Amino acid sequence: MHCATLYEVAGQQDADIFGTLTDEQWHDCRKQIVECILNTDMVNHFGNVGKLQNFFEVSGVEVSNFVNAVASGAADVAVPEVFTDAVEGPKNRLLLQETFLHAADLSNPVKPLAVYQKWVHRVTEEFFSQGEKERSVGFPVSAMMDRATTNIPNMQVG
């Protein structure tokens, strides 16, 4: 649903951020977007934390130096090899893209309470709608997707 909504919005003429891409670029971009969205599933969380810890152990100093140089306004800062290497670069860039989207996905509890409460309502309604669709086609209802049995305060905890 998230991906479909993105492409629906981006498909509007005044919002077409993909309009100048070649077919190959568009397919690569779409693949990354889909991977990032699918990666927000909490089933991936601890594996992602491990990957990010490994990335930081291997490349953290190099990346921190790069970010600090760019933030200070330094000119002609070379992008670290960890992002430009032909084999590992795409994997590392995708890891950070997935991490940023996942962090944004989990960020609601640190927002002002009124904003947080609106998002709790929106997210739980999305979950419950999915649960109702699962039930209507005869599938077992996924965890936290059953309106009748889900304890909303408990689902907000880690």
Give the model's confidence band at 11: pLDDT under 50 very low, under 70 low, under 90 confident, else very high. confident
Tokens 């990354």 belong to residue: 32
Q: Give the count of alpha carbons within 13 A of 117, CB side only.
A: 3
Q: What is the pLDDT of residues 76-115, one digit of tens each?
A: 999 999 999 988 999 999 999 999 999 988 888 888 999 9
pTM score, two decimals?
0.72
SS3 40: coil
For residue 15, pLDDT beyond 90: no
Q: What is the pLDDT of residues 39-53, one digit of tens each?
A: 988 889 899 999 999
Q: State residue 36's pLDDT score.
A: 93
Please check whether residue 59 is in contact with residue 82, taking contact to mean a CB–CB distance below 8 angstroms: yes
Structure tokens at 138: 């005869």
